Amino acid sequence: MSARPWYREPMLALVWGLPLAAVVAGIATLVIAVRTSGEGDARVRRVAQTQTADLAPDLAAARLDLAATATLDAEGVVRVELDAAQPGVDTLLLSLRHGTDPRRDRLVTLSRLAGSEYAGLLPGPLAAGAYNAELAPADDAWRLVGRLEDGAVRVALAAAVAD
């Protein structure tokens, strides 16, 4: 029986390989955390390991009994129809936040067409993946939310909380 040299021992791959893989994965996690640390929603506050969000716009939408449907067409036109007329609101903002990549987020300014119908132009195509949709007036008096699934062209928007 011939003895193998120490560097050809298969057990050496486990002894050195697994800890080395853990170190590389830890460094990769640290790099990802540092690159994305400043991103997030400005309406969310973190205090003493507790995360709180401003729910006033959601409660206002629930009190007004608002709901809407947003539809996207192939040319990038976004149409929104509110279930209840909102007098005095001529412009709405539709925010489409990509589920995993903030660089793919889109913001659409919607102008009133007639009654409770609004339309605007998408500033570029939507990437693959699901989007979290948020509809609100410019003053953030109320907010409707929904989820646009990958490949879908229609999303139902409703208040995030019940009144």
76 and 114 inside one domain: yes
68 assigned to some structural domain? yes
- The domain total for the chain is 2
Residue 137 lies in a domain: yes
Tell me what percent of the chain is helix, strand and coil, each rounded to the nearest 5: 25, 35, 40
Task: State whether 29 and 60 are in the same domain.
Answer: no
Mean pLDDT for 1-29 is: 88
* Residue range of the domain that includes 18: 6-35
pLDDT beyond 80 at 53: no
Percent of the chain at pLDDT exceeding 70: 87
Coil, strand or helix: which one is 48? coil
CATH number of residue 149's parent domain = 2.60.40
Predicted local confidence at residue 29, as pLDDT:
94
Statement: the pTM of the whole predicted model exceeds 0.85: no
Helix (H) or strand (E) holding 15: helix 11-35
| pLDDT band (50, 70, 90) for residue 55 | confident
**pLDDT higher than threshold 90 for residue 24:** yes
Is residue 49, in this structure, part of any structural domain at all? Answer: no
Q: Which residues, at least 6 apart from 145, have a Cβ–Cβ distance to it below 8 Å?
A: 58, 132, 133, 134, 135, 157, 158, 159, 160
Which residue carries 């919607």 as its tokens?
110
